[in-house]
Chains A and B, each alone.
Chain A
Amino acid sequence: KQEVTQIPAALSVPEGENLVLNCSFTDSAIYNLQWFRQDPGKGLTSLLLIQSSQREQTSGRLNASLDKSSGRSTLYIAASQPGDSATYLCAVPYNNNDMRFGAGTRLTVKP
């Protein structure tokens, strides 16, 4: 059974800091992994989708890495800004009939 875990649950950093969010999954036979951002009370915005054959995927200040063998993905945010404050979730498709999400990391970037 696929379990997805995100650590830490919450993170507070000063503006300008580089930071790393972690996502772990128990079944390494994944097809891909997606990182999403969710603002309070809003829908999810897809940030990056990293295929199982890829090691990294980049979009602007965001970089996602994937290590299937160890069951881990990280989301690196460079030069954080107050506008990056949100909850970040990772998700993996499972068994062709489900999408398993982590519980998310709530990020606060202080000006």
Chain B
Amino acid sequence: DTEVTQTPKHLVMGMTNKKSLKCEQHMGHRAMYWYKQKAKKPPELMFVYSYEKLSINESVPSRFSPECPNSSLLNLHLHALQPEDSALYLCASSRRGGGGGLTDTQYFGPGTRLTVL
């Protein structure tokens, strides 16, 4: 299995809702990532999990809460989002963890298109 899966594909939520995005990989990769991509812009790194531990938090607002229950699964919990948080949320993984993860080939999922009303 050489793919990263993400669910749901699309999500519409109100500003008071709580929802979660899910990402899975079964390639035995040791690092997993969340990126945010606004329309016609490049992806921006939000979170890095290396060996199931949060290693990098790029000063993302606390209304985004990541969780890594095991080495194959990554969640992004959403609460009290703003309309400007509407974007494509991409999950990625890489074989190596630690400092070498971001220098390794990144495998991306198809993304979740999030709309906040």
- The verdict on A42 contacting B110 (CB below 8 Å), with A32-B103, A34-B105, A98-B102 known, is yes
Are A96 and B108 in contact, CB atoms less than 8 angstroms apart?
no
Contact residues in A for B102 (Cβ distance below 8 Å): 93, 96-99
Asked whether A46 lies within 8 Å of B107 as measured between CB atoms, the reply is: yes
**Which of B11-19, B38-46, B71-79 participates in binding chain A?**
B38-46
* Binding site secondary structure of chain A: strand
Distance in angstroms from A96 CB to nearest chain B CB is 5
Q: In the bound complex, do residue A102 and residue B48 qualify as a contact, i.e. CB atoms below 8 Å apart?
A: no
With contacts A96-B102, A98-B58, A98-B102 taken as known, whether A104 is within 8 angstroms of B42 at the C-beta atoms is yes
Residues of A within 8 A of B110 (CB): 42-43
Chain A interface residue count: which class?
Answer: 20 to 34
CB A106 to nearest CB in B, in angstroms, measures 9
Tell me, yes or no, whether A41 is within 8 Å of chain B by CB: yes
Q: Hey, what's the 0/1 contact readout for B1-40 against A, CB within 8 Å counting as 1?
A: 0001010000000000000000000000000000000000
User: How many Å from the CB of A107 to the closest CB on chain B?
Assistant: 15
Any B CB within 8 A of the CB of A21:
no
A77 at the interface (CB under 8 A from B): no
Interface contact B107-A97, CB-CB below 8 Å? no
A58 → chain B closest CB, angstroms: 16
CB–CB A43/B41 < 8 A: no
A89: interface (CB < 8 Å):
yes
Binding site for A on B (CB under 8 A): 4, 6, 41-43, 45, 48, 56, 58, 88, 90, 92, 99, 102-103, 105-111, 113
Residues of A within 8 A of B (CB): 31-32, 34, 36, 41-46, 49, 89, 91, 93, 96-99, 101-104
